[in-house]
Amino acid sequence: MSMWLSGANSVVNSARARIAAEAKRQTTTAVNKTASDMFTIWADAMAKAPASKRKRRR
């Protein structure tokens, strides 16, 4: 029984580590995307609107 429990603990710990690593990857991706989106929004808000071109009269 001890060997069975040891094997079960090994499998559970391996699965737990994989789940934690995937959660960390997804969190990092979400944080980076949010930061990038916020930077883009602020940069666009701070930039001047492009000047419209005036038509030349003949």
pTM above 0.75, yes or no: no
Tell me the domain boundaries of the chain.
1-37
Task: For residues 54 and 38, give the distance between their C-alpha atoms in angstroms, rounded to a whole number.
Answer: 33
Q: Dihedral of CA 7/12/13/15: which sign?
A: positive
6-48 per-position pLDDT tens digit: 999 999 999 999 999 999 999 999 999 999 999 999 998 888 7
Task: For residues 32 and 11, give the distance between their C-alpha atoms in angstroms, rounded to a whole number.
Answer: 32
Secondary structure, 3-state, the chain: CHHHHHHHHHHHHHHHHHHHHHHHHHHHHHHHHHHHHHHHHHHHHHCCCCCCCCCCCC
